[in-house]
Amino acid sequence: MAIAFITGATAGFGKATAIKFAQFGWDVIITGRRQSRLDQLEQEIIETYETKVFTLSFDVRNNDEVVAAIQSLPHEWKKIDVLVNNAGLASGLAAIQDGDLSDWETMIDTNVKGLLYVTKAILPFMTERKSGHIINIGSIAGKEAYAKGNVYCATKHAVDALSKSMRIDLLPFGIKVTAINPGAAETEFSIVRFKGDTDKAAQVYKGYEPLKPEDIAEVIYFAASRPAHVVLNDIIITPLAQANTSNFLKSTN
Ligand code: NDP
Ligand code: 8X3
């Protein structure tokens, strides 16, 4: 049976992606910091689908935790076919001159270093078997900067560069690399960005229909389920009302 390892599976895209893979009969390793949410999702999946679930709770910013968690996987769970590097966040929205150092560090440590730590810990299982697929969740913010997005945009530009670079380095191993770059999607993303201010978060999605976690999960699964010789390299997905990072068609009602 095929195995998908999904970071950030306690909410948003990651949770929807775990459910999508399970729906199609994949075994899933679901990860995140909130063990109680992982336990809930495990229950939900095993009650609904005939697949196996393994939960791992760790902080992607801590390389020791990442390595220990991944090494603790039983042998049969180490045959990971697809790694979905999804854990990530924006922290704050401020002009560069007003930026908060700790927000910057959180974003760089999570979105860039965390993605690298997880990838480095899992890659030996793929290079050894000369097979595998890494799906990196970038962002439209990794293609284009927007006002006050500075460091978040920089981390997602880094993910874009890493995806391109990984694709070259992993070519001799037959490992696929896909970058998926969503636009505005309603998840816990803006609640996290605005530090729990749900009213401010809701404003981001007002006046148009944003993407849903399931929209992204479908695309991730589609990329993962192409024939062996086909790779989707780079995908940008937006809601109909979004042309780029800054141009939205919003109704005023
Ligand atoms: P959510 O806030 O809903 O989910 C984020 C997930 O990341 C959670 O499961 C969270 O788990 C996990 N995570 C965050 N920090 C850490 C950490 N230090 N260690 C381990 N896990 C962590 O947001 P989304 O689903 O929207 O975001 C998923 C990805 O998609 C992110 O990389 C984001 O940048 C990107 N993205 C989001 C867009 C959007 O509009 N929503 C658009 C484009 C890209 P826990 O807190 O339990 O650790
Ligand atoms: C999240 C989407 O446009 O808020 O990556 O940066 S955006």
Give the distance (Å) from ligand 1 centre to CA of residue 229: 30
Q: 250, 50 in Cβ contact below 8 A?
A: no
Give the pLDDT confidence score for residue 159 in this predicted structure: 99
Give the CA count within 13 Å in the CB-facing half-sphere of 67.
5
Name residues whose C-beta falls within 8 Å of residue 105's C-beta, 6 or more positions apart in sequence: none
What are the tens digits of pLDDT across the range 42-89? 999 999 999 999 999 999 999 999 999 999 999 999 999 999 999 999
Q: Can 152 be counted among the known catalytic residues?
A: yes
The verdict on the CB of residue 151 being under 6 Å from ligand 2 is: no
Q: 173, 125 in Cβ contact below 8 A?
A: no
Q: 30, 12 in Cβ contact below 8 A?
A: no
Q: What is the pTM of this model?
A: 0.99
Residues 152, 205, 208, 221: which is the catalytic one?
Answer: 152
Tokens representing 219 are: 């695309």
Give the pLDDT confidence score for residue 132 in this predicted structure: 98
Is the pLDDT at 106 greater than 90? The verdict is: yes
Q: How confident is the model at residue 1 (pLDDT cuts 50, 70, 90)?
A: confident
The verdict on the CB of residue 142 being under 6 Å from ligand 1 is: no
Looking at domain 3-237, what is its CATH homologous superfamily? NAD(P)-binding Rossmann-like Domain (3.40.50.720)
What are the tens digits of pLDDT across the range 196-244? 999 999 999 999 999 999 999 999 999 999 999 999 999 999 999 999 9
Give the distance (Å) from ligand 1 centre to CA of residue 109: 13
Give the distance (Å) from ligand 2 centre to CA of residue 136: 15
Give the pLDDT confidence score for residue 121 in this predicted structure: 98
Give the number of whichever ligand sits closest to the CA of residue 219.
Answer: 1
Is the pLDDT at 15 greater than 90? The verdict is: yes
Q: Where are the alpha helices (DSSP H) in the chain?
A: 12-23, 35-48, 63-71, 101-107, 115-129, 150-169, 189-193, 198-204, 213-224
What are the tens digits of pLDDT across the range 150-198? 999 999 999 999 999 999 999 999 999 999 999 999 999 999 999 999 9
Segments making up each domain of the chain, as ranges: 3-237
